[in-house]
Chain A
């Protein structure tokens, strides 16, 4: 009897300890900002190498569109865009590593989809880049639209959604095409370069990078059509709403800054502006940063150190980069695109 009671007590004690630990772990997960401040660095999961989006040089300096987003978060929190630890992640491990807290943000060209949010308990706060499937063709073809691509040979990677989208699109538009499938990206690119197909299809952001690797990049171009939805977004864990808010509004601050004409070059002038919406953005009016657990000038810090959305776009993937991807869908909503941020108000 005594041994039974003793065993029960020990068992209870162990169970309680485990429960306490589990609760602490769970509760602790809503403290990402606190942990980030203590660590003095943002933990950011990135792709090991995608031209324009995320790359590191031989000295280990990271640069790119995705990389700059994490720098913007660091600028908002620490007023120092260098306080980021970049963790290169493979595509199959990225969500697991985010869940197991190896990183606190995933800025790794990940497509936002429903199952990724529900199955992995993740949250995609806002779209950073609207990607989608497009077509590269030779300039000699004189095509203006994807609808001009009937009766062509199209190079596509096998067992991808790209291939399925292609089939759907051509069927819906009553167009015939000959599919030439490849397992490897390299083989597909070589086949196109050797003119074994007339068209190459992939996500638009990839097409611009692939084009640069052709023997004669100037003799091919990318059609403006986008036939699928691949909204690329940063990712965070569910449960920590405060952290999610910081990530979401960092992106929205960058988009709003572009819309208001606030840039890294004129930020000092903007701090003196008397325009109400500029004043709210840079923190000379209201307490918007405090609402995020940050300082008044959180958004000004982002723009000063990293730039507004357009600056980051142009520098890494747009007109000032090698890729030169036109803004397209990623242009602001009032300038031909669909990039739209709720107001900072």
Chain B
């Protein structure tokens, strides 16, 4: 049964890959490329590779701090250090800040783009089953009751950019690593650059 599901997925992925390739040439994409299978050999810029860094904060270990302007997500470790991951963030107009909790975690999540996203990007599918071609990638962590998530990606080359609709994306290897380190209930602090 699972084997059959994978076959369907692969066919669907191939199909949408071809479709997205055509579309890709036809128009400037808003970001998401459903069907594209992530290139695992993609090398992140050193700045966006997962690493332990010095980070002083009064937030307790286990807290996630996202500094959108820097394109970094910090998982606080205590003792003045944090694990830092490179992320892709919301494009201009899709930037928000605040404190939320992780309310749900999912492996290879399905994707149902919210209506407002469909309205902006009508070519997006109404539903897409989880898998390698899914723009949410290998894992998703749901933020409060919002439409925002911390998730993987099928486009590792978008790490370091501001392209999403407000979600935070990590490469699949990193999102799996983060997923395994944090429980539901984890506090997530999102910080933006100050406004003038």
Which residues of A line the B interface, CB within 8 A?
144-145, 221, 223-226, 259-262, 266, 269-270, 273, 275, 278, 319, 324, 326, 328-329, 331, 335-338
Instruction: Using CB atoms, name the residue of chain B closest to A217.
Output: B46
A selection of 12 A-B contacts at a CB cut-off of 8 Å is: A224-B52, A261-B194, A262-B196, A269-B196, A273-B196, A324-B47, A326-B53, A326-B84, A329-B54, A335-B67, A336-B53, A338-B56
CB atoms of B82 and A336 under 8 A apart: yes
CB atoms of B74 and A336 under 8 A apart: yes
CB atoms of B46 and A324 under 8 A apart: yes
Contacts known (A326-B54, A336-B57, A338-B56); A145 close to B195, Cβ less than 8 A: no
CB atoms of B55 and A336 under 8 A apart: yes
Contacts known (A145-B81, A319-B47, A335-B191); A278 close to B53, Cβ less than 8 A: no
Chain B, residues 20-48, CB within 8 Å of chain A (1/0): the string is 00000000000000000000000000110
Chain B residues in 8 Å Cβ range of A324: 46-47
A139 to B: closest C-beta gap in Å: 10
New A-B pairs, 19, CB < 8 Å, besides A336-B54, A338-B56: A144-B52, A145-B81, A221-B51, A223-B52, A226-B54, A260-B194, A260-B196, A261-B194, A261-B195, A269-B196, A273-B196, A275-B195, A275-B196, A326-B54, A326-B84, A329-B54, A336-B55, A336-B56, A336-B74
Chain A residues in 8 Å Cβ range of B74: 336
The 8 closest A-B pairs by CB, nearest first: A261-B194, A336-B55, A328-B54, A224-B54, A273-B196, A319-B47, A261-B193, A224-B53
**Alpha-carbon distance between A326 and B67 when the two chains are bound, in angstroms:** 14
Chain B residues in 8 Å Cβ range of A266: 196
**Alpha-carbon distance between A305 and B46 when the two chains are bound, in angstroms:** 28
Chain B, residues 108-138, CB within 8 Å of chain A (1/0): the string is 0000000000000000000000000000000
Instruction: Using CB atoms, name the residue of chain A closest to B65.
Output: A336
B178 to A: closest C-beta gap in Å: 16
CB atoms of A278 and B196 under 8 A apart: yes
Instruction: Using CB atoms, name the residue of chain B closest to A266.
Output: B196
A contact face: mostly helix, strand, loop, or mixed: loop
CB atoms of A259 and B54 under 8 A apart: no
CB atoms of B53 and A328 under 8 A apart: yes
A185 to B: closest C-beta gap in Å: 24
**Alpha-carbon distance between A328 and B196 when the two chains are bound, in angstroms:** 25
Instruction: Using CB atoms, name the residue of chain B closest to A274.
Output: B196
Chain A residues in 8 Å Cβ range of B57: 336
- Scan residues 147-196 of chain B and give those whose CB is less than 8 A from a CB of chain A: 191, 193-196
- Scan residues 43-78 of chain B and give those whose CB is less than 8 A from a CB of chain A: 46-47, 51-57, 65, 67, 70, 74
Chain B residues in 8 Å Cβ range of A329: 54, 56
Chain B residues in 8 Å Cβ range of A275: 195-196
CB atoms of B194 and A259 under 8 A apart: yes
Chain B residues in 8 Å Cβ range of A144: 52
**Alpha-carbon distance between A269 and B84 when the two chains are bound, in angstroms:** 32
B78 to A: closest C-beta gap in Å: 12
**Alpha-carbon distance between A329 and B46 when the two chains are bound, in angstroms:** 19
A183 to B: closest C-beta gap in Å: 31
**Alpha-carbon distance between A22 and B54 when the two chains are bound, in angstroms:** 51
A142 to B: closest C-beta gap in Å: 11
CB atoms of A261 and B56 under 8 A apart: no
A291 to B: closest C-beta gap in Å: 24
Instruction: Using CB atoms, name the residue of chain B closest to A272.
Output: B196
**Alpha-carbon distance between A70 and B51 when the two chains are bound, in angstroms:** 33
**Alpha-carbon distance between A273 and B74 when the two chains are bound, in angstroms:** 31
**Alpha-carbon distance between A328 and B70 when the two chains are bound, in angstroms:** 13
Most buried by A among B67, B74, B196: B196
Chain B residues in 8 Å Cβ range of A225: 54
A42 to B: closest C-beta gap in Å: 29
A308 to B: closest C-beta gap in Å: 11
Chain A residues in 8 Å Cβ range of B54: 224-226, 326, 328-329, 336-337
**Alpha-carbon distance between A223 and B52 when the two chains are bound, in angstroms:** 8
CB atoms of B196 and A270 under 8 A apart: yes
Chain A residues in 8 Å Cβ range of B67: 335
Chain B residues in 8 Å Cβ range of A269: 196
Instruction: Using CB atoms, name the residue of chain B closest to A134.
Output: B54
Contacts known (A261-B194, A275-B196); A224 close to B56, Cβ less than 8 A: no
A123 to B: closest C-beta gap in Å: 28
Instruction: Using CB atoms, name the residue of chain A closest to B46.
Output: A324
Instruction: Using CB atoms, name the residue of chain A closest to B56.
Output: A336
Chain A residues in 8 Å Cβ range of B195: 261, 275
**Alpha-carbon distance between A145 and B78 when the two chains are bound, in angstroms:** 12
Instruction: Using CB atoms, name the residue of chain B closest to A147.
Output: B79
Chain B residues in 8 Å Cβ range of A145: 52, 81
